């Protein structure tokens, strides 16, 4: 059974710092991995989708990498800003299914 | 494009009452999902529909029923609400043409007293 873990659960950094959020999964037979952002009381906003055949995806200051063999993905945020403060979730879909398993998220606070 | 819409935004029920949460998407997606989000538990899949006319159980289906009314709409029904069903409910959709990238609605905050 696929399990997805995100460590740390919470993180505070000063503005301008580059940071890395981690996502680990137990079954490497994945179809794709998706990173989301969730602001308090809001829905989830898709940030990046990485297909199993890809190693990384980039959007603006965000870069997500995927290493299936080690069961890990990282989300790199460059030059963090207070507006980046949110909870970041990763979700993994296993090969042959439409279902996603979510991690419990990392709550990020960027201090001005 | 409204994306994924959900109604209602908030609901309070008494134990034993029933209600239906509505979800609609205008992106012509084949797959739709219902999740619940609880503190410390993350998002858990309740039911999903791979395509119009099909539904399947997720991780936590007990106490819920779903209907895929047409390609656009996917509803979630609580027949006899229990306090354990107090949660935030999210609907999502995806499609093979977009590599199953999921798009979420704004959520329904449900309290059962």
Q: Smallest CA–CA separation between A49 and chain B, in Å?
A: 7
Please determine, for residue B82, whether its predicted confidence score (pLDDT) is greater than 80: yes
Which chain B residues contact residue A98 at CB under 8 A? Answer: 31, 33, 48, 50, 94, 100
Contact across the interface for B45 and A34, Cβ inside 8 Å: no
Q: Which of A42, A45, A93 has the CB atom closest to B100's CB atom?
A: A93
Is residue B87 within 8 Å of B43, Cβ to Cβ? no
Which chain B residues contact residue A99 at CB under 8 A? Answer: 33, 45, 48, 58
How many CB contacts within 8 angstroms connect chain A with chain B? 55
d(C-alpha A33, C-alpha A40), whole Å: 23
Give the pLDDT of residue A95.
Answer: 74
d(C-alpha A112, C-alpha A13), whole Å: 9
Residues within 8 A of A (CB atoms), B 25-54 only: 31, 33, 35, 40-45, 48, 50
Please determine, for residue B11, whether its predicted confidence score (pLDDT) is greater than 90: yes
Share of chain B above pLDDT 70, in %: 100
Residue stretches of chain A with pLDDT short of 50: none
DSSP state of A55: S
d(C-alpha A29, C-alpha A32), whole Å: 9
3-state secondary structure chain B: CCCEEEECCEEEECCCCCEEEEEEECCCCCEEEEEEEECCCEEEEEEEECCCCCCEECCCCCCEEEEECCCCEEEEEECCCCHHHCEEEEEEEECHHHCCCCEECCCEEEEEC
d(C-alpha A97, C-alpha A108), whole Å: 30
Q: Within an 8 Å CB–CB cutoff, is residue A71 touching chain B?
A: no
- Please write the tens of the pLDDT for every residue from B15-64: 999 999 999 999 999 999 999 999 888 899 999 999 999 999 999 999 99
Which chain A residues contact residue B43 at CB under 8 A? Answer: 44, 89, 91, 102
Contact across the interface for B42 and A102, Cβ inside 8 Å: yes
């Amino acid at each position: 059974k696929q399990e997805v873990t995100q460590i740390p659960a919470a993180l505070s950094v000063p503005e301008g710092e580059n940071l890395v959020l981690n996502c680990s999964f137990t079954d490497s037979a994945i179809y794709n991995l998706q990173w989301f952002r969730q602001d308090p009381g809001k829905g989830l906003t898709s940030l990046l989708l990485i297909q199993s055949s890809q190693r990384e995806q980039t959007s603006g200051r965000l870069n997500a990498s995927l290493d299936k063999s080690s069961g890990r993905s990282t989300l790199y945020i460059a030059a963090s800003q207070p507006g980046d403060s949110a909870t970041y979730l990763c979700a993994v879909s296993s090969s042959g299914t439409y279902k996603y398993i979510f991690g419990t998220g990392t709550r990020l606070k960027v201090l001005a | 494009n409204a994306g994924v819409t959900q109604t209602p935004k908030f609901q309070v029920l008494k134990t034993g009452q029933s209600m239906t949460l509505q979800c609609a998407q205008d992106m012509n997606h084949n797959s739709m999902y219902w999740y619940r989000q609880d503190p410390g538990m993350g998002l858990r899949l309740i039911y999903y529909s791979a395509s119009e006319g099909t539904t399947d159980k997720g991780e936590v289906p007990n106490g819920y029923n779903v209907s895929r009314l047409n390609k656009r709409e996917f509803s979630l029904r609580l027949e006899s609400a229990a306090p354990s069903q107090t949660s935030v409910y999210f609907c999502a959709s995806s499609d093979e043409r977009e590599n199953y990238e999921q798009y979420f609605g704004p959520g329904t905050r449900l309290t059962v007293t």
